[in-house]
Structure 1
Amino acid sequence: MRAKVLVVDDEFLIRMSLESGLSDLGYHVRTAQSIREGAELAETFRPDVVLLDNRLGQELGLDHIEDFKKVDEDIQIIMITAYGSVSQAVEAMKRGACHYIQKPFDLEEVDLIIRRNLDQLKRRRSLELMRQRPRQIVGESQAIQRICRNVDILAQNDNVDLLICGETGTGKGVVVNAIHDSSPRRDTPLVKINCGAIPETLLESELFGYEKGAFTGANKAKKGLMELADGGTVFLDEIGELPLSMQAKLLTFLEDRRFKRVGGLRDIEVNVRIIAATNRDLEEEVEKGTFREDLFYRLNVMQIRIPPLRERKEDIPVLARFYLEHFNRKFNKHLKDIDPAFLREMESYYWKGNVRELRNVMERCVLFSRGDILTGEETGLEPRREERKGDSGLSYPMKDLNQGSIDLKKEVDAFERTYIDRAMELVGGNSSRAAQLLGCTRFTLKRRLEQNNEGAKENNVQK
């Protein structure tokens, strides 16, 4: 998108020469001959840069820097004058100007100054909006290799919206970073918006910004995150948490990438790529009526599903060694490898928190390690074992139906008794705590125990 430059100067030849020369250099240029005309034009034109003459009739451009900053605090003000002085330059900087040049000036010099200040603004936004983030997708499973191939394709086709699905901690943000950093948008902002973390009352103004006077306390206009991401990528994390009222507004925005700031009348158009992510089943949310069907299909142009870590166990040793090297550097350690027994233990864990949990385990283990080989014993850490049938401590055998019919009620009662006995064993016979483990009331548990005891007596009598 072309940078927009507003020239405010009362000399016709200056205005025309700058408009012609800067337009030839690729800028979108508008001109004004007075402060009033320039301020009015800034409201509608929304320039990135204002070349502001310091002497405009009886007025000083210096005194009106703030007027342009009220329109947009990110506007780069470059003062131009034939009567420059060090004191005026210092005063201009204090009031918000970013540069100060004297007449007569060279067009190449003006171009260089504009580009330099726009680059500085872009870098500053990047520092504010893009905190240090992991950029590497680690793994050798077929699922991860397929995701890497999709990342390469989607990075080059940067106008395709994308939905990333996966449990918490699987690395959805890492995939977003990889797509953005490999795309033609890599030098533009990547703006992350956590849809569940922003209060519903503030969501619209955070996403789309607001105009001066839109509500109490809005003393000046403010750009929203969508506008700040212009040219880049918007990552809508936890899209399933977005309130229905905002879902409709987001859908409207996605249709043509236009929006109005809160309290505004003018359409603002931006060029952004939308990547959404969720740990929810959005199709299920659609059926429940908590997520709009039309928004789901609009976002689901292309979907990447990241399997949980327990479904790609071959990635666990690769990730463990990756984080071993990472935390070796962080803590100035010199661990050479991971004990095979510890790796086998890690492969048997359920990893409810997925890669994020594994990363935390490795960080603690490396931090407290003593030898050259990471054994995992240093922390006394006992991560959660795989939560699947057979790992819970329950050992009730299923009957083989090929061998004949069963009494279903008796089998179900026996299985229930197994669960109740296990719960009572874990809590030392405390029926209140056992009821909590079993997800029932203390009264229900007492009744079930009585029924089971009666059933056991009947079985003994029959025998």
Structure 2
Amino acid sequence: MKYKVLIVDDEPLIRMSLESGLFDLGYEPRSAADIQEGLALAEQFSPDAVLLDNRLGGELGVEHVGDFKRIDEDMMVILMTAYGSVSQAVEAMKLGVSDYVQKPFDLEEVDLIISRGMEQLTRRRSLELMRLRPHKMLGCSQAIAQIRENIRILAENDNVDLLICGETGTGKEVVVNSIHNGSSRRDKPMVKINCGAIPSNLLESELFGYEKGAFTGAAKAKKGLMELANGGTVFLDEIGELPLFMQAKLLTFLEDRSFKRVGGLRDIEVNVRVAAATNRDLEAEVRKGTFREDLYYRLNVMQIHIPPLRERREDIPVLCQYYLEHFNRKFNKSLRGIHPDFMETLQNHYWKGNVRELRNVMERSVLFARGELLTGENAGLIPQSGTLPQPSGPAFPMRDLASGPVDLKKEVETFERTYIDRAMELAGGNLSRAAQLLGCTRFTLKRRLDGDGTPE
């Protein structure tokens, strides 16, 4: 596998010699003459390692290490300096520098440092069990731009709870990871709790812990997940699956961030941010009585809605490029792009499984790919699923008045109900989004669904 190396140095001779030498050693090198050019190239080139000169005209390279790490936190930054010292090296390491070399340097030393760093990175990536989690929400759509802005605001204000809504596979966990990693809580734990995966009779002890002797088999006290996350973030995934009795306990916890372990008498206080996620319409669950209204409003301090992929198709090429590069590395491939016909197929697909489904399709396609372009011969997509369903025929044909009188009120109600049902279908049951489609307020639509009033 060829590792990509970016050289940032203002001396042309050093750039040329490093590029030539690294190319001969099997690397894929690129070079830039200053910080601005280097950062721009890093965005496009996605290097595995950066050889960064510490003296770049009037700027210090070490002051821009964080700028490169923000592009990719796994990017290895090696500082090149003619004024090396132990104290400088220690300070550079604190800022995120992986290693440093002192000028004039030996090319073999540079090769050794890069190789050693890449081996460490490979081992760390292997521990992720091939689980891919983008560091940020990827896409160029207006919806994703707004979500990224919300992530920035919520990262800066880390005491605000939030509710993330969206279909399965849209990236709700990525949003929570991004908020946590961008906040002052980043060095504290982020604990994920799948509310639908833990048996209801174990939920309370898992969340809040238990004292010794609280029940048969409780030989010693155990901290719960809320306690283990102290100082960090608690991610309550699939919050709509939480049983009603636990909803009451969670509401009490959210009010003052304190709880008692099962079988305990002492109040334990923790400082955690709570992020909840669901693919259900919690407003509908509240109406059905399966979700507490007070808990819904307590969680819904800030809501982020992630639209399904089929509603932001301009994001598909961005995601595909990201996954192509990732699976190129994973499978040691060298695909240089996606065939236009396959890209058209990807953009027209319905994507019921959203980004998760797209990731699986890209992984399968890259694994079996031959040649330089990804053609998707083994993608497993069904062409007929590539178009959105359209309403069939006239939804509400007009009655022939010549054949006799009609019940005008009933006809109008049928007309309106057809529109409402279609809007609710397109909105996936989300009341607020359906109201937007109908051009009325959420309150008006809810009143109409309850049988009182007419949409404005």
Deviation at 1:352, TM superposition (A): 0.3
Contact kept, 8 Å, 1:193 with 1:234, in 2: the verdict is yes
Residue type at the aligned position of 1:194? N
- The aligned residue for residue 254 of structure 2 is 254
Determine the structure 2 residue equivalent to 1:224. Answer: 224
Cα distance in 1 between the residues matched to 2:232 and 2:267: 19
Cα deviation, residue 161, structure 1: 0.4
Once residues 165 and 402 of structure 2 are traced to their aligned partners in structure 1, the CA distance between those partners, rounded to angstroms, is 42
- Residue 255 of structure 1, CA deviation: 0.4
1:269-348 maps to which residues of 2 (within 5 A)?
269-348=269-348
More displaced, 222-231 or 381-390? 381-390
User: What secondary structure does 2:234 align onto?
Assistant: strand
SS across alignment from 1:277: strand
Q: 1:198 Cα deviation (Å)?
A: 0.3
Whether the 8 Å CA contact 2:208–2:223 is kept in 1: the answer is yes
Match of 1:265 in 2: 265
Gaps of 5+ in 2: 1-126, 404-456
Map residues 103-122 of structure 1 onto 2, 5 A cutoff: none
Could you say if the C-alpha distance between residues 340 and 258 of structure 1 is closer, same or farther in structure 2, counting changes exceeding 3 Å? same
Q: Is the 8 A contact 2:165 2:278 kept in 1?
A: yes
Q: Distance in 1 between matches of 2:218 and 2:227?
A: 18
Give the Å deviation of 1:402: 8.9
* 3-state SS in 2 of match to 1:198: coil
> Partner of 1:144 in structure 2?
144
* Number of the residue aligned with 1:202: 202
Q: What letter matches 1:143 in structure 2?
A: A
Q: Deviations over 1:53-77 (max 9, x none)?
A: xxxxxxxxxxxxxxxxxxxxxxxxx
Residues 1:324 and 1:298: Cα distance change in structure 2 (over 3 Å): same
Tell me the secondary structure at the aligned position of residue 136 of structure 1.
coil
Aligned equivalents of 1:357 and 1:381: distance in 2?
Answer: 10
Q: Which residue of 1 aligns with 2:365?
A: 365
- AA in 1 matched with 2:277: A
> Residue 313 of structure 2 aligns to a residue in which SS?
coil
Q: Tell me the residue number matched to 1:375.
A: 375
Residue 236 of structure 2 is matched in structure 1 by 236
Does the CA contact (< 8 Å) of 2:361 and 2:380 recur in 1?
A: no
Q: Please say which of residues 373-382 and 295-304 is displaced more in the overlay.
A: 373-382
Q: Tell me the residue number matched to 1:437.
A: none
Q: How does 1:421-460 map to 2 (within 5 A)?
A: none
User: 1:210 aligns to what SS in structure 2?
Assistant: coil
Count residues with an aligned counterpart.
276
Q: Note the C-alpha offset of 1:132.
A: 7.5
- Does the alignment pair 1:192 with 2:192? yes
Contact 1:370 1:378 in 2 (8 A): no
- Matching residue's letter, 1:389: Q
Q: Which residue of 1 aligns with 2:390?
A: 389
Once residues 399 and 166 of structure 1 are traced to their aligned partners in structure 2, the CA distance between those partners, rounded to angstroms, is 28
Q: Is the 1:189–1:232 Cα contact (8 Å) retained in structure 2?
A: yes
Contact kept, 8 Å, 2:361 with 2:379, in 1: the verdict is: no
CA contact (8 A) 1:194 1:238 kept: yes
Change (3 A) 1:402 1:228: same
**Hey, what's the Cα distance between the residues in 1 that align with 2:321 and 2:161?**
33
Any conservation in 2 of the 1:134–1:177 contact (CA below 8 Å)? no
Q: Which amino acid aligns with 1:350?
A: Y
Deviations 1:108-157 (A, max 9, x none): xxxxxxxxxxxxxxxxxxx99xx984322100000000000000000010
Residues 397 and 268 from structure 1, CA distance in 2 versus in 1: closer, same or farther, beyond 3 angstroms? closer
C-alpha distance in 2 between matches for 1:165 and 1:303? 7
**Structure 1 residues not aligned, in runs of 5+:** 1-126, 391-395, 408-463
Q: Highest Rg: 1 or 2? A: 1
What's the offset of the Cα at 1:377?
A: 1.5
Q: Which amino acid aligns with 1:362?
A: M
Aligned to 2:170: 170
Change (3 A) 1:403 1:263: closer
RMSD in angstroms over aligned alpha carbons?
Answer: 2.5
Aligned to 1:106: none
Query: How far does residue 286 in structure 1 lie from its aligned partner after superposition?
Result: 0.5
CA deviation map 1:209-246 (0-9, x unaligned): 00000001000000000000000000000000000000
Matched residue type, 2:387:
E
In structure 2, what residue type is equivalent to 1:286? Answer: V
The separation in 1 between residues aligned to 2:398 and 2:216, in whole angstroms, is 75
Q: For 1:399 and 1:164, how far apart are their aligned partners in 2?
A: 34
CA deviations on 1:15-71 (whole Å, 9 max, x unpaired) are xxxxxxxxxxxxxxxxxxxxxxxxxxxxxxxxxxxxxxxxxxxxxxxxxxxxxxxxx
Cα distance in 1 between the residues matched to 2:152 and 2:402: 55
Structure 2 CA distance for partners of 1:405 and 1:332, relative to 1, 3 Å? farther
Distance 2:312 2:258 in 1: 41
Amino acid at match of 2:134: P
CA displacement at 1:385 relative to structure 2: 2.3
User: 1:233 touches 1:275 (CA, 8 Å); kept in 2?
Assistant: yes
1:400 to partner: Cα distance: 10
Conserved? CA contact 1:351–1:386, under 8 Å: no
Distance 1:400 1:250 in 2: 46
Compute the displacement of 1:399 (Å): 9.3
Tell me the secondary structure at the aligned position of residue 220 of structure 2. coil
Residue aligning to 2:415: none
